[in-house]
A and B are shown apart, each in its own frame.
Chain A
C-alpha cells in the first residue's frame, strides 16, 4: 500500500478545497440558509408540524442530505474530471499507485469536504431552529456512508463525462429531482398511496429517512432497510469503479 501517494492525492485535493473556500463552503451555506428562510420561517410558519416536530426542524436532515449529496457528486466528479480535461491524469496513471489508492485519495478528499460541509450546515441550521439529535453516532454513520457513496458515484460520473455538459447532466437531471422528491421537505407518508409506492423506488428516500430517524426517531421506512439500501448503493458504486479500472474505461486506450 502506497500510503504516501494516497496522502499526496488527498492533500492535493484538500488544498483545492481550501483554495476555493468561498465557493466550496460559503455558497452551500448561503443557499441552505435561504431554504430555511423560505421553507422554515416563511412557509413553514403556516404548517404547524409534521410527524410531531415543527416543520423547520423537520426539514433539517433533508437539507443536510441535499447538500451532502450534491456536493459529494460535484467534488468527486470535478476532482477526477479536471485532470482528465487538462491532461495531468498522465501522471496519476504512470505513478506506482493502485486503483484502490487513487480512489481512496480522490474519494476520501471529496467525502471529507462534504462531511465538513454537512456539519457546517447542521450548525447553521442550529441558528434557525432548535436541534436535537437522538442518535448522534447513527447520524454520523449515515452522513459518512452517504458522503462516501455519493463521492464514489461522482467519481464514476467524472470518469464517464467527456465534456462539462455531461458533468452537470446527472447531478441536475437525476440527483436533484430524486433528492427533492425523496422526502427532503415532506414525509413520504403525506403522499397519496400510489405516489408513495413510486417514491419508494427512489434510493434517496432511504438515505433521508435513515438520517432523519437518527435525529427525531421518525422514519418513512425502517432504519435497517435504510442502512441496507445505502450499503447496496455503495457496493454498486464500488463494483462499477472496479470495472472501470479493470477495463481502463475512458482512462486508458
Chain B
C-alpha cells in the first residue's frame, strides 16, 4: 500500500535565514500511529505546519493521500485534521458553533449526528452550549480535537496533545486515539512525553536540529538500541573486581556491594551464564539480582545528545 503521507527532500529556511528543516524524507503508513520525537526547536511543528498548509516549504515536495500539498491543496487538506500545540480557540462562540464551523470550513455538509458523536467521545457533550472562554484548559484542548475531527479526517495531526493535561485526561485521550486508529485514521503525534510515544506509537521518528535522525518500529527500536543491565547484590562487599572478571567490564558500585554488568539482548551470547560461572569460581556470592532495560527516554536522550 502506498504511504498516506510522503515527504521528499523537504527543506525549510525562514526569512531570518534560520534553517528549520534540512532535507527531510519521511513516509507515514496508512493507519499507523506515528510519534515524532525531538527536543524543543527541533522542527517538529514546522514539519507539521508545512504538511498542513500553514507554512510554505522552501524546497522539496509533500504528498498527502497522493495529492501534492501545493498543486492539489484541496484534496490534500480535506484529508487532514490538525490539532496545533497552542490553545488557539475562539472565545465567545459556543462549543457546538465552533465545531460545526470547522466542519463547514472543510466543505462538509451539516451532520449534527457526527458532531454529537465527536463531542460525546471527547466528553464535551454536556458543554456543547457553553462559551469556550468558560472552559478549562483541558476542555479547550478537547474542543480543538473535536474541531479537527468534525470533518471526518483520514489523518490526524496532534501536536503535543497532552501537554498540560492531567493524567486521567491523558489516558482518556490515548483511548480516543486508539478508537480513532481502530476506525482507520492515521495519527501523527508529537510529544515530549516519551511514555506517550512508548504507550501509543507503532513507529517512532526522532528529529533533531531539523534533520530526521531515525525512523523505526517502536519494538525494533527498543530492541535494537535497548541495552540491558544486570545488577548483582553481593553478600559481602569487595574492594576490587578480581582480574579474572576483567573481560566482562563490570562496574563496582554501592561501596563494593553491587556489581553491574551491561549486555546486549541482540548479541548471540549475553555472557550471563559464563559470568555467573566465573563469579562462583572467584568465590563471589550474591543474594539478589535484577535486570533492567533502557527506556525509550534513555534511547532518545542518547540519540539527540550524540555529536
Contacts and interface: CB of A to CB of B under 8 A. Distances in A.
A4 B102 CA distance: 11
A242 interface: no
B27 interface: no
B82 interface: yes
B14 A94 contact: no
A15 interface: yes
B105 A92 contact: yes
A194 interface: no
A113 to B, nearest CB: 17
Given A9-B105, A88-B88, A252-B55, A15 B97 contact: yes
Nearest to A2: B107
Given A9-B105, A19-B92, A90 B54 contact: yes
Interface in A1-18: 2, 4-5, 7-9, 11-12, 15
Interface stretch (B70-78, B193-201, B274-282, B289-297): B70-78
B104 interface: yes
A2 B74 CA distance: 9
B74 A253 contact: no
A95 B105 contact: yes
A10 B84 CA distance: 24
A94 B53 contact: yes
A88 B77 contact: no
Interface string A239-253: 000000000100011
A8 B88 contact: no
A12 to B, nearest CB: 5
Nearest to B102: A91
A248 B74 CA distance: 17
Contacts of B14: 253
Contacts, number: 75
A94 B157 CA distance: 12
A26 B109 CA distance: 35
B82 A248 contact: no
Contact of B104 (A4, A93, A248): A4
Interface string B65-96: 00000000111111010101010111111000
B88 A86 contact: yes
**What's the interface size class on B, roughly?**
35 or more
Contact of B54 (A7, A15, A93, A98): A93
Contacts of A8: 101, 103-105
B93 A15 contact: yes
Nearest to B88: A87
A178 interface: no
B101 A12 contact: yes
Contacts of B78: 96
Nearest to B89: A88
Contacts of A4: 104, 107-109
B247 interface: no
A200 B75 CA distance: 49
Interface in B88-135: 88-93, 97, 101-109
A8 to B, nearest CB: 3
A7 B97 contact: no
B88 A94 contact: no
A120 interface: no
Contact of A87 (B80, B82, B86): B86
Contacts of A9: 105
Nearest to B55: A253
Given A94-B52, A94-B80, A252-B54, A5 B107 contact: yes
B134 to A, nearest CB: 15
A96 B92 contact: no
A253 B93 CA distance: 28
Interface string B258-293: 000000000000000000000000000000000000
Interface of A: 2, 4-5, 7-9, 11-12, 15, 19, 86-88, 90-98, 248, 252-253
14 contacts: A4-B109, A5-B104, A5-B106, A7-B104, A8-B104, A86-B88, A87-B84, A88-B88, A90-B54, A91-B105, A94-B80, A95-B105, A96-B76, A96-B78
Interface of B: 14-15, 49, 52-56, 73-78, 80, 82, 84, 86, 88-93, 97, 101-109, 147
Given A4-B107, A87-B86, 19 more contacts: A2-B74, A4-B104, A4-B109, A5-B104, A8-B101, A8-B103, A12-B101, A86-B90, A86-B91, A90-B54, A91-B82, A93-B53, A94-B77, A96-B75, A96-B78, A252-B55, A252-B56, A253-B14, A253-B49
